[in-house]
Amino acid sequence: MKLVKSIVRPHKVDDVRDALEKLSIAGMTVTDVRGHGRQKGHTAVYRGKEYSVSLLPKVEIEVVVPDNVVEDVIEAIMAAARTGEIGDGRVFVLPVEQSYNIRTGAKETS
Amino acid sequence: MAGQTDGIQLKESAAAQLATARAAYVKEAGRGRAGTETARRYADQMDGVVQAVVEAACGCTDLPVAVCAVGGYGRRALCLHSDVDLLIVFDGTIDEREEAFVKGVLQPLWDLRLELGQHVREFADFAEPDLSNPEFLLSLLDLRYLAGSLPLYGRIALSAAGSHARASLDPLLTLVSERHARFNDTLYQLEPDIKQAPGGLRDISVIRHLHMLAPAAFKDAGDAGHGRIAGAEDFLLRIRSVLHVLGGRDVNLLTHDLQEKVADTLGCSGAHPHHRVESLMGEYFLRARAVTRALASAQRAVRPRTGSAVRRIGRQFEITEDGVQFAQPNRASQQPSLWVEAFRIALEHQCPVAESALSCIEQNVHRCGADDFVATEGDRLQLRRLFTPRAGLYERLSEMHDCGLLNRIFPEFAKVHCRVVRDFYHKYTVDEHTLLTIRNVESLLDPAAANRRRFGSILQELHAPELLTLALLFHDVGKWREADHAQESVRLTQSALDRLELPDDERATIEFLIREHLQMSQVAFRRDAEDPQVASRFAELVGNEEHLKLLCLLTFADVGAVSPETLTPWKEELLWRVYVDTYNRLTLGYADHLLEGDPAGLSVLIAGRPADISEHELVAFLEGLPRRYLTTFGLGAVYRHVRLARDIKPNQIHTFLENHDDVWELTLVTLDKPYLFSNVSGVLSYFGMDIHRGQAMTTPDGLVLDVFEFSDEEGFLKQNVAATTEISRMLEQVVAGSVDVSSLLKGRERSLLNRRRVRRPPVVHFDNEHSRKYTVLEIVADDAPGLLHRITRVLSAEGCDLHLALIATEGKSAIDVLHVTRAGRKLTETEQDSLERELKQVLEAGE
């Protein structure tokens, strides 16, 4: 199993979710986050005053998926979240050692 | 061996006793009848179990010991899975034998799987109230003897009723306020905690405790409210009993899932499950509201009286420690306009409307219709002004709502009274969500809300902030049925707007806000707000910065009222960015979008033109004006401008001056020439006018249209019959070049500028990005008489042409956005530097 963690633009969440649903990925965790990558924010001007916007709003989507669909999931997320502009986000893939269902107590296997 | 047998027998007998008690309780709960009486019976049966256990353990200790019931068990309000709160007190030092006694009591009860809340004390502990443990202190208020030494119990009861009780009042009030804050201080929860939420069982016990702790405060209160509270308690206990049986544990949250089952068990009326749930929740809110009102009244009663004198407000009102009261209740009961007036006075004096006045209104409100509150111009104005955002507005509107007045004044709002709309996000009923949006707006005025100062500053800038509150009041009334609620809300609001007789432009603003109230959150949270097309479409939708500010605040208030967790700092940031980007588009980037590119807008203008204006004249006038012109001015104003522009010749000026309440508006049309804007604004300053906002537009043909909004600070217009003629004449002379404004203003400016105290460094910012043709100059500076004149004089002196101007004031700051060129092109960096130096010199020196 792998934990696929993607950081995407806020307005792309629905697209990513739809893409994952098409792959029958049932569960996901969505969190509002702020951060910056190479983009490193920018400056904005309001009423003549410049202020720096160093941490940009993003959304983190986490899904745990079986090894055999990891590539499809990554591809689906990238296609759904891409605009081609700087700031589209990142996808990270991490190994998952064990997984349990809290209600049933059952250990899940991929 | 005998002891073991006794122990087993005890356990078996206690288990059987408890099982019988539980079975009886479950049976009643299943019939929806396990209210107050069942809870008492169950508590009594529990007493038997505890007493048997205590008796069996008595041999373990030689010290006198008393076992008491406290908390909910003490007041015999015991539900199936409630905690069984016990107090065990020894008259001496607790040693091994006493510990064995405690174990002997608790172990069998634990074995029965009871949830115990046990307190073990030595009597010496009661010498002083334990202020570090307020919950324990309060639980003693429900102290009840169960078993053991009666004399010892008597001494404990004496302490509990004496110094401990006296020390309980403040912690009790603090705990109530902390608990209510956890529920956002509202009872209208879609999934209420029937024990802890405002209006729940806990509040009922607090009311009784307050009566117990300060009986003198209630000596004149009578017994009228007791029946209502007892009824509410019975109802809530019946719900709780079903929750406990269904959940198999101490469940108090009436979730959506459980509401249907509870409604069926309690026999709520309705053919469809949804109707039965509405019936259940309707009764719940009614009961909970009665509890919160009784609690508020009890809280006021126990507050130390300040002894302040009764203040008389006119002939009809007085302000006492309880709030605004009717001086002649009989007369007031017949006069609906006095009811609204009472709330206005309460807001003005920052106090509540007294319970007696609320009851008077509540008893008589059914005799009035919506028209009774808007019978005269004064009534309409008073009603409108009531909605001006300020401290206490939510509280007063809630009082109006609770006593039925708000629904009578606006029957459109009554459509969503206690309306439950289930979704994943909303936590409150539609009417309460609406009132909470108004509380969110009000919170922006709180100086403590520093983290939201940026939104607060927008609120301060609003031209007519009551339009925002009125729009909020109606924005969700369309939710009375399942459909596109925004459109339905606009439809329903029409009758309310008819009654208020608002001017057309204000009416259109409210309709716009209601119709589009979901758009800004869509753009901010669901769309790519950085996509130029999305941003540009949104800017077009809002049209002007006043609409933008209103919609931004409405969105802020609306999202924040969904639940306390919905408007996160993350979402606030997204919303703010859309606001800033759109604001910049509307103020900096509007110049390139000309009216020619808006055929739909043009055709409306042409179709609606009066007979005296030809299509050719209209089109010629509009040529070169930005599209913003149409979003800022209504049709009537546009046609007036066309007429003003007729036959205008060089060195001539055509003016139109009118006033709305305390604000004057000067519209002028002339042909462009150097120093024109500076001279015109200088004339207004010369006559003591304080310019609040304004717009200046110049067409490529040199036709200038300026509109200034100002207040008559020194009363020149009010005090002089010929003032308007004099201003017009002076403008004509200045435009003709026969009068020099700068010399006229010199003496006046010097004396006024010396009076200025607060000085913040001015902001001068150039933008060559937003517009293709112009350099956009933004200036934010301390407002001062003649400021606009001085700024624009510098521009002219630096050889700049002013094409478009937006003038605004925010509190004591002037915010000017000026579109300029020099020799027909944007300003170079060198020219910008030079202009900035000159401007700062003027702004910082004041001259």
- Are the C-beta atoms of residues B429 and B478 closer than 8 Å to each other? no
Q: What is the mean pLDDT of residues B715-719?
A: 86
| Chain A residue numbers touching B530 (CB-CB < 8 A) | 85
Residue B34, H or E segment: none
Neighbours of B503 (CB within 10 A): 11
CA A57 to chain B, closest CA, distance in angstroms equals: 6
Residue ranges and CATH numbers for the domains of chain A are: 2-108 (3.30.70.120)
Q: CA nearest B562: which of B432, B400, B446? A: B432
**Which residue among A34, A44, A48 places its CB closest to the CB of B570?**
A34
pLDDT of residue B847: 43
Beta bridge pairs of residue B304: none
**Number of CB pairs < 8 Å for A and B?**
46
Residue B629 to residue B671: CA distance in whole angstroms = 18
The burial of B161, by beta-carbon neighbours within 10 Å (0-12 exposed, 13-18 middle, 19 or more buried), is given as: middle
pLDDT category of residue A108 using cuts at 50, 70 and 90: confident
Q: CA nearest B331: which of B342, B347, B319? A: B342
pLDDT of residue B222: 65
pTM score, whole prediction: 0.81
Residue A35 to residue A59: CA distance in whole angstroms = 10
| Chain A residue numbers touching B806 (CB-CB < 8 A) | none
Q: What is the mean pLDDT of residues B312-341?
A: 92
Question: Which residues touch B589 (CB under 8 Å, ≥6 apart)?
Answer: B539, B770, B771, B776
Residue B285 to residue B239: CA distance in whole angstroms = 13
pLDDT tens column, B622-659: 988 888 888 888 888 999 999 999 999 999 999 999 88
| Chain B residue numbers touching A12 (CB-CB < 8 A) | 528
- Are the C-beta atoms of residues B67 and B147 closer than 8 Å to each other? yes
pLDDT tens column, B370-389: 999 999 999 999 999 999 99
**H helices then E strands: how many in chain A?**
2, 8
Beta strands in chain A, from DSSP E residues, in sequence order: 2-8, 29-35, 42-46, 49-53, 56-65, 89-95, 99-100, 107-108
**φ/ψ of residue B554, rounded to 5:** -65, -40
Asked whether the beta carbons of residue A48 and residue B571 sit closer than 8 angstroms, the reply is no
In this prediction the ipTM stands at 0.75
pLDDT category of residue A51 using cuts at 50, 70 and 90: confident
Asked whether the beta carbons of residue A57 and residue B584 sit closer than 8 angstroms, the reply is no
Residue of chain B with shortest Cα separation from A58: B570
Mean pLDDT of chain B: 90
What are the residue ranges of helices labelled H in B189-255? Answer: 201-213, 224-247
B839 to chain A, any CB pair closer than 8 A? The answer is no
- Are the C-beta atoms of residues A80 and A12 closer than 8 Å to each other? yes
Residue where the block lists tokens 């639940």: B563
The CA radius of gyration of chain A, in Å to the nearest whole number, is 17
pLDDT of residue A77: 96
- Are the C-beta atoms of residues B683 and B729 closer than 8 Å to each other? no
CA B713 to chain A, closest CA, distance in angstroms equals: 26
Residue B706, H or E segment: strand B703-712
Residue B121 to residue B128: CA distance in whole angstroms = 13
- Are the C-beta atoms of residues B499 and B461 closer than 8 Å to each other? no
Asked whether the beta carbons of residue B765 and residue A11 sit closer than 8 angstroms, the reply is no
| Chain B residue numbers touching A33 (CB-CB < 8 A) | 570
B584 to chain A, any CB pair closer than 8 A? The answer is yes
What are the residue ranges of helices labelled H in B31-140? Answer: 36-57, 71-74, 96-111, 134-139
pLDDT tens column, B795-824: 999 999 999 999 988 777 888 999 999 998
B577 to chain A, any CB pair closer than 8 A? The answer is yes
Asked whether the beta carbons of residue B528 and residue A9 sit closer than 8 angstroms, the reply is yes
- Are the C-beta atoms of residues B253 and B169 closer than 8 Å to each other? no
CA B715 to chain A, closest CA, distance in angstroms equals: 32
Residue B729 to residue B82: CA distance in whole angstroms = 84
Asked whether the beta carbons of residue B580 and residue A10 sit closer than 8 angstroms, the reply is no
CA A70 to chain B, closest CA, distance in angstroms equals: 27
Q: Which residues of B293-310 are buried (b: 16+ CB within 10 A; e: fewer)?
A: bbbbbbbebbeeeeeeee
Restricting to B residues 756-775, those with a Cβ less than 8 Å away from any Cβ of A are 763-765, 767
Residue where the block lists tokens 């001017």: B503
Asked whether the beta carbons of residue A32 and residue B568 sit closer than 8 angstroms, the reply is yes
CA B775 to chain A, closest CA, distance in angstroms equals: 13
The CA radius of gyration of chain B, in Å to the nearest whole number, is 35
